[in-house]
Amino acid sequence: MVVFTGASTSVMYGYEATFGTAQSNLTNTFGLNTKVSTLSLSTNRQQLNKLGQVEPSKYAYGTQSGNLSIGFVMDSADSHKIFQSIYGTANGTAPFKYPATLGQGATLPTFANQSFTTQIQLATGTSTHLLRTLNGCIVNSLNLSTSIGEPLNCSADITFGKETTADVSVSSAITSQRTGSGVDQGTTPYTFAHGVVKVHNGTDLQPVAEIQEFDISFAQNAELLYGLNSQTAVDAYRKVFEISGRFRTSFKDDRMIQYVIDQSRVNTSASELITSGVGIELTFTNGSQSILIKLEELSVADHSLTGIEPAEPVFEEINWSCKSAQIQVTAS
């Protein structure tokens, strides 16, 4: 009996020119330490019964849809390309900007150049593999997070509209993921030690050295669109776009608490925003590679204190949301 592991598996993806039309040249890898936690497929069938019996008589098969949950560590090679699934194609030269300009209106309700094809190759024998091709993949939510001692982790909840399978001979995809393009020996991960967080203090952006944890969520609230004469999705759309997050740091003063208090007042003249411009900048720099995230028109959603006990530091946890963001990447 042979037990197959992730060492005999490959996961690659490529952006589609048209939603749901398979991209044949898949060159993108998600990142280091890629983990697929969920890969499910459903035909959303309905049970049909006859009068006079309790057992099912027939099944009516509905729309095909699937879910892929994947996690990985952000690296200096291909991993930044996942941001195209949120903001579309970046500008052509480094630093790559997602979107090209910061501000509201940069995110559209359509998914032009943002859907992608994913192929997962699973070993079924020493010379044959099962190739699962997922078309019309849409990132429903994308999360970035890190904490003391941890790498910069990314997780994506992906919805897809169609799957096909094929038995194939072992391709070069696995070999390339071991030693070739994409995630290779020259790729370096981003970690907490590469990160600097700047928070607007009411006057300008200043680094906060005591950040313990930080996470950001881009929620697209995407829906697949179906039509008559097809069980697979014909398109997809974004209902609302939400950017939110959280950070945990040592407690210094009441400034963040005051933002929450001001928002609870009726007819107050106090602003709900930390600043009308960039409220937080998060930068990860690893040698000549970097990821810069700008969060604009940021509002504190709620505030909590943790760890009030003898001989221990007091930490505050801030949950926030913002109206727009931009990600700038300098990569090899």
In whole angstroms, give the CA distance from residue 306 to residue 304. 7
Whole-prediction pTM value?
0.88
Give the pLDDT confidence of 253-305 residue by residue, as tens digits.
Answer: 888 888 777 765 544 444 556 667 788 999 999 988 899 999 998 888 888 99
Name the average pLDDT for the chain.
Answer: 85
User: pLDDT tier at 167 (50, 70, 90 boundaries)?
Assistant: confident
Contact 331, 305 (CB under 8 A): no
The strand pairing partners of 165, in sequence order, are 132
SS3 content of the chain, % helix, strand, coil (to 5): 10, 50, 40
Closest to 190 (Cα-Cα) out of 218, 153, 156: 153
Contact 259, 271 (CB under 8 A): no
In whole angstroms, give the CA distance from residue 326 to residue 125. 45
Handedness of CA 325, 287, 30, 181 (dihedral sign): positive
Q: Would you say residue 222 has pLDDT above 70?
A: yes
What are the residue ranges spanned by the domains of the chain? Answer: 6-330
Q: Would you say residue 218 has pLDDT above 90?
A: yes
